[in-house]
Structure 1
Amino acid sequence: MSGVKDKMLVGERFRRALCSYPESAVVQEAMARELVSMVRLHAGEERLGRVLEIGAGSGLLTELLLEAFPVASLTANDLVGECREPLREIARRLRIAEFSFLKGDIEECGELPGSQDLVVSNATLQWLNDLDKLFAAVRRSLVPGKLFAFTSFTVGNMEEIAMLGGGGLSYRTTEEIGEIAGRHFELLELKESREQLTFPRLVRCLAIFARPESTVLAGSGGAEAVIWTLWRTTAACFGYREGSALPIARSIAC
């Protein structure tokens, strides 16, 4: 996969959008619910002593997971330091005895906290550069026989936005992700799905996916903050028939 992602730029855009993120993260919430269902299927109802979440963000997965399973200790990681307090509040409200926050780029954090009963990550791995290295670190952090469960966006995700001139991230395929994971873990389940969001007006779509604090990464390498000026928006809308529906496909591996 070509290109190195500028995660500092990603973090800055997410920090600006932290308060409004949950209302527009419809697909990410669906992914989180599916992930919790998969964990329940493979882990049963057993108590999860220690859990590490990579890329916890605003806590979409965090809250669903802690509501579904008894957890003694949660370590939440995110690139954005401002995520600490919302995540701490979720842990406090759901009576988690021990909470810690691991701030920073997970690829630069060194050895991860050990003796984990579960490591999870929702809609984060597409931002990482070296999955092989990360998966090796996750394996070392897990108690033998315990689970690593994750979702990631894959090839084909939001390609309609790229076609409108907004750039696009260079995604891995589901097969590529599975091949890398298989070097370190026994694969219990690997599947891909496509969720389609439909917007009656293009401007409504851009209001969500191309708002000023959003980041779109160019697939040829590096990171590009795409600014949707009046001219760019008008050009994208030209020829778009009012009242027609714009489908936005989200490709997901879990």
Structure 2
Amino acid sequence: MMTQHYIDKKRAQASFNKASALYEDSAVLQKQVLEEMFLRLKLLKINPNSILDLGCGPGNAGPELKAAYKPHDLIYLDFAYDMLTKAEEKNRDHFLKVLSSKTTQRFICADIEAIPLAENSVDMVWSNLSLQWCNDLDQVFTQIAKTLTHNGLFIFSTFGPSTLHELRTSLASFSQYSHVNQFIDMHDIGDALIRCGFSDPVLDVDVYTLTYSTFKEIMYDLKQIGARNALQGRAKGMTGKGFLYQLEKLYEVYRADEKLPASYEVVYGHAWKVNKLLDESSIVKFYPKQ
């Protein structure tokens, strides 16, 4: 990845901390993708005793993960402390209501590129729309593979390269700086999974289009979910009203039926961690008599 497309983690962290208070009001797509992930998860045969919610945000997946699997250990991990606080508040309240639950909940503030968990300690890693905030996908996948137990499941969603293409094209026509994340293609994600030791990856793509009456509404929603420009190659300093006015005029070419679109390509995927040494040692071999 080119340096200008590297994510400034401190800036991204600050954006999500700031967005935590009103995140739920604007995270319409994130909630829809969450529902789609659970539909896919229900098709897989797995009974995890320990689950890691990687990049958990405000912890929206927690209640359903607990209800579906009743795991002994459910770990929430996010690099934005204020988001993690929201997750703890939401899931603590739910936990107290379900008195019969024996699930132990842990909340860890850490970067998903530096997962502070022991090897072979988690049966399932769940990640909803967080991988796009990584700079080194191989590093993340390698750590997830190490963290998973034998036959552990990694299930995730992330944004693909067509995400916000209207905004990206409008910006590119008059600005030399990087303003929108460079999202990774589904096929490259699949290759990375194989490269990092996963087996039988399954990936598919859905495209969602949110519509708005004004350009300001698009920018407001992006701001409220923490999706500010955190790239190292961004323009330094404030862009100013003139910049936004010019961008708004260019974006108008996409207006249809009195609405402005904002497109999102969502990549869904899952793969299994298979310990090849264990597999080979379990095979019964017959040799001809000498």
TM-score normalised over the length of structure 2: 0.77
User: Alpha-carbon deviation of 1:223?
Assistant: 5.0
For residues 27 and 161 of structure 1, do their structure 2 counterparts lie closer, same or farther at Cα, with a shift above 3 Å needed?
same
1:231 aligned to 227, 239, 242, which one? 242
CA distance in 1, matches of 2:236, 2:54: 24
Q: Show structure 2 runs of 5+ residues with no match.
A: 172-177, 269-290
The amino acid of 2:140's aligned partner reads L
C-alpha distance 225-25 of structure 1, shift in aligned 2 (>3 A)? farther
1:149, distance to aligned residue in structure 2 (A): 0.4
CA contact (8 A) 1:159 1:168 kept: no
**Greater shift in the superposed pair: 227-236 or 178-187:** 227-236
Aligned length: 250
Give, in angstroms, the shift of residue 227 of structure 1: 5.0
Following superposition, the deviation at residue 5 of structure 1 comes to 1.1
Given that residues 77 and 108 in structure 2 are in contact (C-alpha distance below 8 angstroms), is that contact kept between their aligned partners in structure 1? yes
2: CA distance between counterparts of 1:84 and 1:202?
A: 30
* Residue 222 of structure 2: aligned partner: 209
Match of 1:38 in 2: 40
Percent of pairs with identical residues: 22
Counterparts of 2:134 and 2:211, CA distance in 1: 28
Determine if the alignment matches structure 1 residue 18 to structure 2 residue 20. Answer: yes
Alignment of structure 1 residues 42-53 onto 2, 5 Å: 42-43=44-45, 46=47, 48-53=48-53
SS at match of 2:65: helix
| C-alpha contact 1:43 1:147 (8 A) present in aligned 2 | no
Contact persistence 2:204–2:267 (CA under 8 A): yes
Higher mean displacement: 20-29 or 208-217: 208-217
Which piece of structure 1 moves more, 91-100 or 190-199? 91-100
Q: Is the counterpart of residue 160 in structure 1 residue 166 in structure 2?
A: yes
**Paired residue for 2:62?**
62
Quote the Cα distance in structure 1 between the aligned partners of 2:225 and 2:26.
Answer: 14
Is 2:137 the partner of 1:123? Answer: no
* 1:175-213 deviation per Cα after TM superposition (whole angstroms, max 9, x unaligned): 101110122211342101111111122222222125696
8 Å Cα contact 1:181-1:187 kept in structure 2: no
Instruction: Kindly provide the CA deviation profile for residues 89-146 of structure 1, in whole angstroms up to 9, marking residues without a partner as x.
Output: 3333134531112212121345556421111111111111122122122112112112
Distance change in 2, residues 1:213/1:179 (3 Å): closer
Is residue 2:263 matched to residue 1:249? yes
The answer (yes or no) to whether the contact 2:214–2:259 under 8 Å persists in 1 is yes
Q: 1:91 to 1:237 in 2, by over 3 A?
A: closer
What is the DSSP-based 3-state SS (H/G/I as helix, E as strand, rest coil) of the residue aligned with 1:108? coil
Higher Rg: 2
1:185 aligned residue (178, 198, 207): 198
* C-alpha distance after superposition, 1:35-79 (max 9, x if no partner): 1222221135x3x31111111111123334334332221111110
Instruction: Tell me the CA shift for residue 225 of structure 1.
Output: 7.6
1:146 equivalenced with 2:152 (yes/no): yes
- The residue type paired with residue 142 of structure 2 is A
Q: Give structure 1 stretches of 5+ with no counterpart.
A: none
Tell me how far apart the structure 2 counterparts of residues 122 and 212 of structure 1 sit (CA, whole Å): 14
Structure 2: distance between partners of 1:226 and 1:62: 38
Q: How far apart in 1 are the matches of 2:37 and 2:88?
A: 21
Indicate conservation of the 8 Å contact 1:132/1:180, yes or no: yes
Q: Distance in 2 between matches of 1:168 and 1:90?
A: 31
Deviates more, 1:128-137 or 1:4-13: 128-137
Q: Note if contact 2:59-2:88 (Cα within 8 Å) is conserved in structure 1.
A: no
Contact 2:26–2:221 (CA under 8 A) maintained in structure 1? yes
Please name the residue that 1:200 is paired with.
213
